[in-house]
Structure 1
């Protein structure tokens, strides 16, 4: 057997049995729940506990990022929705229709993150409409983070079940 064959025997290159895929999934959801509308959750907690400069920083960062999300959504939202829909459909058809495991794995990463993006635009719109400050702002950001974490739990669970199913099919169990 050549070096190439031994390498691919040693490192399984299928998506759901690859350790790097699961590390990427964990990092993706960890980052998604850490950054709430572009603000680190630790800063939000510090602002809630201490107030002062941290509270002003959170208010400023949320305002800047909410306006940025809304500007992107209003200027390019239609194009992003069309391109995103095309890519998700392509991945779903190739992955689940034609059984391309790599496309299944990418779909299971990208589709839930699309929902997180929509959730972020929704929260930015709520912020722009209500203009909350202080405890109302922190409550809104906690609610956003809780929703993202719930999506993450469901996504990781579904991905793990699908990955186990695919691994059992490949190994013949």
Structure 2
């Protein structure tokens, strides 16, 4: 297989799509809300509490500072890509939708977790539990995304006219 074959626009049958899927879920498995996942087992409670609160406040600040026009434009683009991919059966758009829609879901899950951490002062154990729950939700989202990528990828490759 040549490099040109790997970079083809035939998304589900090419290496670029599956490489991006692996990279995307490797990244999400390595950190949760910006905190490295293995750092949640750290023995330095003061530093861990400071990092968790700082990352949660940072996530909320960045979400609140996003201009409405940017959020509306991004929502429009994600919707257009999703519709082009799954209603009009454009394979490249379906592949991009399978990469982008889980990111939107994970952003919303992380935002809600950051809100719960910052809204009421939780103890360190409660914060760690919230982050571990978020990590499990991210894994579930990733498993569903990979399942749908395989399912729709198989459908696009086999049912191609």
Q: TM-score, normalised by structure 2?
A: 0.88
Cα–Cα, structure 1 residues 23 and 12, in superposed 2: closer, same or farther, change >3 Å?
closer
Please identify the structure whose Cα radius of gyration is greater: 1
Asked if 1:72 corresponds to 2:62, the answer is: yes
Cα–Cα, structure 1 residues 34 and 77, in superposed 2: closer, same or farther, change >3 Å?
farther
- Measure the CA separation in 2 of the matches of 1:64 and 1:154: 30
1:73-112 correspondence runs (5 A): 73-76=63-66, 78-112=68-102
Query: Which runs of 5 or more residues in structure 1 are unaligned?
Result: 1-5
The question of whether the paired residues in 1 share the 8 Å contact of 2:6 and 2:15 is answered with no
Query: Which runs of 5 or more residues in structure 2 are unaligned?
Result: none
Q: Number of paired residues?
A: 159
RMSD across aligned C-alpha pairs, in angstroms? Answer: 2.0
Could you tell me how far 1:90 is from its partner in structure 2?
A: 1.5
Cα–Cα, structure 1 residues 115 and 130, in superposed 2: closer, same or farther, change >3 Å?
same
Q: Which residue of structure 2 lines up, in the alignment, with residue 40 of structure 1?
A: 36
Per-residue CA deviations over 1:63-88 (Å, capped at 9, x if unaligned) read 12111111122221634431221111
In terms of mean alpha carbon deviation, does 160-169 or 127-136 score higher? Answer: 127-136
The question of whether the paired residues in 2 share the 8 Å contact of 1:38 and 1:61 is answered with no
Q: TM-score, normalised by structure 1?
A: 0.83
- Measure the CA separation in 2 of the matches of 1:158 and 1:114: 16
Per-residue CA deviations over 1:21-79 (Å, capped at 9, x if unaligned) read 1121021012113211100001112x2xxx22xx2332222212111111122221634
- Measure the CA separation in 2 of the matches of 1:37 and 1:65: 7
Q: 1:23 aligns with which of 19, 26, 33?
A: 19
In terms of mean alpha carbon deviation, does 59-68 or 117-126 score higher? Answer: 59-68
